[in-house]
Structure 1
Amino acid sequence: MRQGILLYGPPAAGKDTITAALTELDERYVLFTRLKIGAGKTKGYRMGTPEQLTALEARGDVIYRNDRYGNSYVVDRPGLDHAMEGGKTPVVHLGQMAGMEQVTALYPARWVRVLLWCSKETTARRSPQRGDTDTAARLAAWDATQADLAAHPRAQWELRVDTDATAPHETAQRIDDIVRTTPPRS
């Protein structure tokens, strides 16, 4: 059965760091590189064009799209299919509950859902450390993520982690344990 990991949390909660720790732990874990239409940071994305996005939408291959920071970020069916080839387990980064719901509803796989959290002060500190030039926008996104999470009190998580208090490799090991032992949802 195909499987993947959904990492949800505000900017700078540690999604990249936890993903790196997972890929060090086991080579089957791979970062799902979302399609990005726009400008700015390119690392960790597949850069696309508005025409590519229009074609994906016309085929029904957009699983989830969000627009933030003046860009469009897309989880697409062909991208997920490719990421799961050869038994790989993609790690998908999301900051919106709508994305969590769309991916689990529209892309059949065994999804392990992980909530990564950090304080707003931590986001303010980590954002410039990782090279962001738009920390104010990241802090606004932190507020939006907190409100989004509060609006979904019944959200189900296999794991919740405070990344202010838990080391990345410990978190990766806990996620790996869940991936290896949790039966698929019925």
Structure 2
Amino acid sequence: MTGRQGVILYGPPTSGKDTVTTALTELHSKYAQFARLKVGTGKSAGYRMGTAEQLRELEAAGGIVYANARYGNTYVVDVPGLDAAFEAGVPVVHLGQVDGIRALADGYPADWSVVLLWCPREVTEQRSAGRGDSDTAARLAAWDATREDLDAHPGIVWDLTVDTTASAPQDAARLIDHLLVRRAGAAPA
């Protein structure tokens, strides 16, 4: 393996990907959320906003590891972005599709720890409404798509599974950090 470690957080909307990533960055400065390239409109925080032209250029150069469309936007995990993220530390990539996990694990050389963050559908609805999302119905549709995605890929192996209704974000972050330490064969700090 390359010696580079990365984290993939998979789960439905509001399962805690942002919250757990924040707890990871508070636990250790080596962790940072990977800012996917976003082509479209809406929320820009946590993304590198791009254009359709940039997307075409990346595609032509073979620089796209994974792209998906959701909420009327295109979200991209790209080679230049990953290269920069690994130079800075341990990237934490948020994904909501098993195909994205496979594309990243197979398409970008690193020791990827794959973590399933989960919450029930009704919790997604409550959390989405609670944080003031204007597109809760779309988030529930994405929750349904995530459940269908999991059901369609029963053989996927998770390095760690966290029920975010039962574990505090700080506890989930510690579990993820311990996982990476064990995988690296390093002594715990």
- Tell me which interval the TM-score lies in, with the shorter structure as reference length: over 0.9
1:69-84 correspondence runs (5 A): 69-84=71-86
1:9-158 correspondence runs (5 A): 9-86=11-88, 88-158=89-159
What is the CA distance between 1:70 and its match in structure 2? 0.4
| SS of alignment partner, residue 140 of structure 1 | helix
What is the CA distance between 1:3 and its match in structure 2? 1.2
Percent of aligned pairs sharing the same letter: 58
Distance in 2, Cα, partners of 1:144 & 1:77: 26
For 1:121, the aligned partner's letter is E
Q: 1:62-118 CA distances to partner (integer Å, 9 max, x unpaired)? A: 0000001100000000000000104x0000000000000000000000000000000
Distance in 2, Cα, partners of 1:67 & 1:130: 23
Structure 2 residues not aligned, in runs of 5+: none
| SS of alignment partner, residue 84 of structure 1 | helix
What is the CA distance between 1:132 and its match in structure 2? 1.7
For 2:42, the aligned partner's letter is G
For 2:35, the aligned partner's letter is T
What is the CA distance between 1:183 and its match in structure 2? 4.9
Structure 1's consecutive aligned runs of 4 or more residues displaced over 2 angstroms after TM superposition are: 128-131
For 2:144, the aligned partner's letter is D
Distance in 1, Cα, partners of 2:122 & 2:169: 19
Distance in 1, Cα, partners of 2:76 & 2:120: 26
Relative to the length of structure 2, the TM-score reads: 0.95
For 1:29, the aligned partner's letter is Y
For 2:137, the aligned partner's letter is A
Distance in 1, Cα, partners of 2:35 & 2:98: 19
| SS of alignment partner, residue 153 of structure 2 | coil
Q: 1:120-148 CA distances to partner (integer Å, 9 max, x unpaired)? A: 01100111323321000000000000000
Distance in 2, Cα, partners of 1:131 & 1:14: 16
Root mean square deviation, CA, Å: 1.0
For 1:17, the aligned partner's letter is T
